[in-house]
Amino acid sequence: MELKGFRFSAVEAAIKKPGRLDLALIFSDAPAQVAAVFTTNKVQAAPVMISRERASSGSCRALLVNSGNANACTGEQGRLDALECGRRAAESLGLADDELLIASTGVIGQALPMDRFRGAIEPLVDGLAAGTLENVAAAIMTTDTFPKLERRSGSAGGKSYGIAGVAKGAGMIQPNMATMLSFLVTDAAVDASFLKSAFAECIDASFNSITVDGDMSTNDTALIIANGAAGNPLIMAGTPEGDAFRARLLDVLLSLAKLIVKDGEGATKFVEVKVQGAVSKAEAKTAALSVANSLLVKTAFFGQDANWGRIICAVGYSGAQLDQGRVGIRFDDVVMVENGVFVGGNAEAAGTEVLQKKEFTVTIDLHLGNGEASVYTSDLSYDYVRINADYRT
């Protein structure tokens, strides 16, 4: 799959430690549209505040991103540092400052190592000649154990186009707006307001439907840059081409979101928590999130314990409407609970067998209405504790 009019680069700037790519650049040869969502945390990193403002114009040319340092809680100096990094990259690229977005991920509260940034900008820009999106995916990793990249292709008006995206996740993953870093590029020409609304909708069904640990970061950013280089007629909302574009966009985002859960810190299980029969879609999601974030449920997944009692308990305190005498619970196709009570028989053994798999679905049917939602989550293992007790040290 070709992505016309985009170039990529990544270098080793030794921002946290040497020996790995940690500074990346995405560049569009021509002015491009951008749609973006950012963390709703009231504590926001300097690059989030700057990029939110710049993205609100709806257009950009480039994105500079580093891992190893979040540049969050760094005060006025952090803002000046972020601005300087952006300015140096923009100058090298021949852009105005506000045509370039910036993003950072890593430890909170430490000043950016500006000497290393300054020295890395020139090789980074030079690298656009030969760099790949794979390099970018590698450079944005923090505690991720594998790079996350997804590509899809489509066509509109006889012109083929691509959508590709990278993401990083692993910790501080909770669904509320963007919950990590994810950057998508497409060479399709897309109507600006459709791009914006389709991106927000697809984010809600993907990154806003995953949870690893319930913590929402100060740096979460997801954005898509569309440069129109494919030369297709503008893709509009409410057309077959628009629907197809949205479907591919969701496919990329949901695939990236699932990769983030699979690579969740210490995760040994990938679990879809599906709530159906709620009074509304919103309540279904509330209930699913409550189950997916319960420490008791997550440790039971880790222990491969078919402990449906903890699941119904977490639904009970979620705030979703509930009649405990109607609730049904299934592990994959194994019915565990009907009308709020354990079905007995072979269910314990059969349910335990499901939980021994690497991936499974927990379905909770409230039998009250038509609201349905899925949340994707991981288990909570010793390694989650180990990774997070040791992270900075």
**Token pair for 372:** 């349905």
CB of 120 to a second copy, least distance (A): 24
97-116: contacts with a second copy (CB under 8 A): 107-110
33-52: contacts with a second copy (CB under 8 A): 40-44
Phi, psi angles (nearest 5°) of residue 377: -145, 175
Q: 47 to each of 215, 241, 381, how far by Cα in Å?
A: 19, 34, 32
Q: Is 56 in the site for a second copy (CB under 8 A)?
A: no
Q: Is 390 in the site for a second copy (CB under 8 A)?
A: yes
Residue nearer to a second copy on the CB measure, 240 or 344 = 344
Write out the DSSP string of 222-266. Answer: EEEEE--TT-PPPB-TTSHHHHHHHHHHHHHHHHHHHHHHHTSTT
Q: 18 near 26, Cβ under 8 Å?
A: no
Q: Is 295 in the site for a second copy (CB under 8 A)?
A: yes
CB of 165 to a second copy, least distance (A): 24
| Other beta carbons less than 10 A from residue 171's beta carbon | 19
Q: Among 68, 86, 171, 242, which residue interacts with a second copy (rule: CB under 8 A)?
A: 171
Phi, psi angles (nearest 5°) of residue 249: -60, -45
Q: Among 57, 155, 339, 346, which residue interacts with a second copy (rule: CB under 8 A)?
A: 339
- 352 an active-site residue? no
Q: 178 near 138, Cβ under 8 Å?
A: no
The residue type of 151 is: R
Spot the catalytic one: 74, 179, 186, 218. Answer: 179
Q: Among 1, 296, 346, 357, which residue interacts with a second copy (rule: CB under 8 A)?
A: 296
CB of 174 to a second copy, least distance (A): 8
Q: Among 182, 232, 276, 307, which residue interacts with a second copy (rule: CB under 8 A)?
A: 307
Q: Is 393 in the site for a second copy (CB under 8 A)?
A: yes
Q: Where are the beta strands (DSSP E) in the chain?
A: 6-11, 23-38, 59-69, 100-107, 148-156, 159-168, 181-186, 210-211, 221-226, 270-278, 328-331, 334-338, 341-342, 359-365, 371-378
Q: Is 123 in the site for a second copy (CB under 8 A)?
A: no
Q: Is 211 in the site for a second copy (CB under 8 A)?
A: no
Q: Is 146 in the site for a second copy (CB under 8 A)?
A: no
Cα(247)–Cα(256) distance, integer angstroms: 14
Q: Among 156, 172, 225, 249, which residue interacts with a second copy (rule: CB under 8 A)?
A: 172
Total residues in contact with a second copy, by rule CB under 8 A:
67
Residues in the chain: 393
Of 59, 57, 56, 62, which is closest to residue 5 (Cα–Cα)?
62
Residue nearer to a second copy on the CB measure, 78 or 165 = 78
Q: Which residues are catalytic?
A: 179
Which residues of the chain form contacts with a second copy (CB under 8 A)? 40-44, 70, 72-75, 77-78, 107-110, 171-172, 174, 176, 213-218, 293-296, 299-300, 302-303, 305, 307-310, 312-317, 321-322, 324-325, 327, 337, 339-342, 380-382, 384-386, 388-393
